[in-house]
Structure 1
């Protein structure tokens, strides 16, 4: 009986002193009839965040919600939070709605408290603009590491990469073949892979057709009857030319007036012997290829460019070639031809690049990788890659309006390269965009849009505290 009486007296005393608010077993604040006085004979060691966050201050301070930091004394006992009157609205500004103090998507058209007893924060006209922008405090901007950069015009460098192989320049290949039945009398010390110079002797040929034409030409130019008639001599000489007799051999005949038994064939150009089929004593029929010589001081790189990149390349663009045989070396060239056909299996188009090869390092069929620089000389409006928020169906940037206000702006993008993206619509030169921590600001902007939607939905309902839990908790 005495125990029950003492319990009733204790409960009555508690009701007389005030009401305690608890959340998850922890006391957050005490609402009493009178504010408990802070001991004047004790000096606080520091002040802690009233919400329980790991934030500290050496002197008195208020948090983002306007609540005073709690003093902590040398006995590690924090002073109770002084009771605060219900948040008073600024009479000079109109309150649009009240938002959840913890940032949850919950609003109220009238003052209320959350489940922990914290007052909802009023949102005034002017603080929540209709332009979709979000405003951050200077402290939050500094903590989140927000960085901005002005929008400028610059050349966007886009490099198209394509694999390929080295091929011979078709215009620099020569073939030595007989135009009449011939016999190879002697072959010079020239083999496949040997570098030769123009005019260097390759072989000696005997041909009855060549010997007959040479005798006829000498007879014409030495005869007393036809020597002075130019047309006769010109016709006989042309026959030798048609048989592909080298010009030096014809000139020697005109000088010595002697028809050679065998004719010496020489290299028509500087190059490398790619093919040697001449063998001493062999019979060569008309059309048989005896030597094939190629000049590789200039070669082609034939690369396969993906169909999606064809719109970015054009004839004359500079190209950097890297051969897999020389990893630390690059070769420079330009696009000469874009072949007018797309491979239906690989969806690529063949591109021909002409390359100087003075030291003959590049060899036919060697694998190479091409980097085509598609930079346009005309500068375009561009922003850094990190400033673009891309959801797949929508691309946007955050425009820094100054004074901590950021506006989401939808943009239309163009080419990408060199760390920058071309902006074709949505921005103007001189505007500033966020390049760092933009995802955090975007998240806050989306939260703000959600809060605004809840506020508009709540404002359309009757302002009855008893309905929908919109009234103040008792």
Structure 2
């Protein structure tokens, strides 16, 4: 009696279950027949990427060394072409750091050697314009310092004596009422044409005597570079008897490397240090950039004018110069460490956030103090990678190569 009751109950439950399954199957079949348009379309797998964020990919399903399945990447999921994606853990392990491009004043110092040269405009040569004889030479030697108007020698010249007699005659005729006129002015001019010092001409005017010897004086303050005169010698026209140079202002001729020539401009400040006077500085400015390159050394010559009141700087002395370059105006700049150079171009990695980095080509300008000017390719506040960027760049190149390989392997 009891067995028949439980048997009937179990039979009823089984019947309900079978009926339910049949109903579900029928319902599922009906839904498939009527709602096929609502089923999601099948997406196409492009490739499989490493589950640990490594840069290797596969065209077929596979597992990594730890037995983890590679993750499928469907079409449309990697729409950021050229963008490198890194996991937060990998970014931290690699030491990736970013810094925003900002407006900065870039200054750089060009260092180069040079020599001290005389200012060509401050050199005087004493030479005769007529035949003469040296009667006396002052106690002046090569290397001695002389002042303007200091006697150097006494010269007898027949031509000067004749011109002086003519001038005195003109002056005397003026006193007696004849007047100096044009002829008198011409007589004085003749003495000047013979390069007779002004002091000697004034002495002739006052004394009204033809001098046997004319005292020749220094035309400027300076150092005697040459003394080619001795007592009793005959001086021919054009013979250089003295050469005197003013050292109060000198030139520093600096040999600048060809690569630095574009950063230099007339007017830039330069600091010159002489090797003979450690710790002492001479300040000046560039006043000439010579338009030629020395073929042997690939250097350009730059002229810096220096004040030399103590006469410490002398001809052909070696010096070292530091020239400040750059503009006083702020320019868009990034750290030099952000620049990736190679393949004939220069680029940076822009940090787009969420572990994404975009390589971007840039055009650069002046460099200095660890920064480089960006003329094209970036905007202010664009963050660029300044540390471990070469690792991201290598991964970017690897990703591009692998993706090309994967696309080439697809039928």
TM-score normalized by structure 1? 0.68
- Cα distance in structure 2, aligned partners of 1:240 and 1:101: 103
Pick from 126, 129, 144 the counterpart of residue 194 of structure 1.
144
> Does the C-alpha gap of structure 1 residues 115 and 343 become closer, same or farther in structure 2, counting only changes over 3 Å?
closer
Query: Displacement of 1:347 after TM fit?
Result: 4.6
> Does the C-alpha gap of structure 1 residues 393 and 244 become closer, same or farther in structure 2, counting only changes over 3 Å?
closer
Give the gaps of 5 or more residues in structure 1: 1-92, 462-474
Aligned to 1:171: 121
Give the gaps of 5 or more residues in structure 2: 1-42
Deviations 1:416-443 (A, max 9, x none): 3332222222211110111112122323
Aligned ranges for residues 392-407 of structure 1 at < 5 Å?
A: 392-407=343-358
Residue 381 of structure 2 is aligned to residue 430 of structure 1: yes
- Cα distance in structure 1, aligned partners of 2:262 and 2:206: 61
- Cα distance in structure 1, aligned partners of 2:209 and 2:232: 24
Do the aligned partners of 1:221 and 1:227 also contact (CA within 8 Å) in 2?
A: no
- Cα distance in structure 1, aligned partners of 2:65 and 2:98: 39
Aligned to 1:228: 179
Deviations 1:402-427 (A, max 9, x none): 23332222222333333222222221
Aligned ranges for residues 244-263 of structure 1 at < 5 Å?
A: 244-263=195-214
Query: Displacement of 1:384 after TM fit?
Result: 1.2
Aligned to 2:36: none
Aligned to 1:339: 290
Aligned to 1:417: 368
Query: Displacement of 1:221 after TM fit?
Result: 1.1
Query: Displacement of 1:167 after TM fit?
Result: 1.6
Residue 228 of structure 2 is aligned to residue 277 of structure 1: yes
Aligned residues: 367
Do the aligned partners of 1:227 and 1:233 also contact (CA within 8 Å) in 2?
A: no
Do the aligned partners of 1:157 and 1:375 also contact (CA within 8 Å) in 2?
A: yes
Aligned to 1:146: 96
Do the aligned partners of 1:148 and 1:434 also contact (CA within 8 Å) in 2?
A: yes
Give SS of 1:427's match.
coil
Aligned to 2:38: none
Pick from 267, 270, 279 the counterpart of residue 319 of structure 1.
270
Structure with the largest fraction of helix: 2
Higher relative contact order (CA 8 A, sep 6+): 2
> Does the C-alpha gap of structure 1 residues 232 and 446 become closer, same or farther in structure 2, counting only changes over 3 Å?
closer
Aligned to 2:6: none
Query: Displacement of 1:386 after TM fit?
Result: 0.4
Query: Displacement of 1:365 after TM fit?
Result: 1.8
> Does the C-alpha gap of structure 1 residues 404 and 117 become closer, same or farther in structure 2, counting only changes over 3 Å?
closer
TM-score normalized by structure 2? 0.77
> Does the C-alpha gap of structure 1 residues 392 and 449 become closer, same or farther in structure 2, counting only changes over 3 Å?
closer
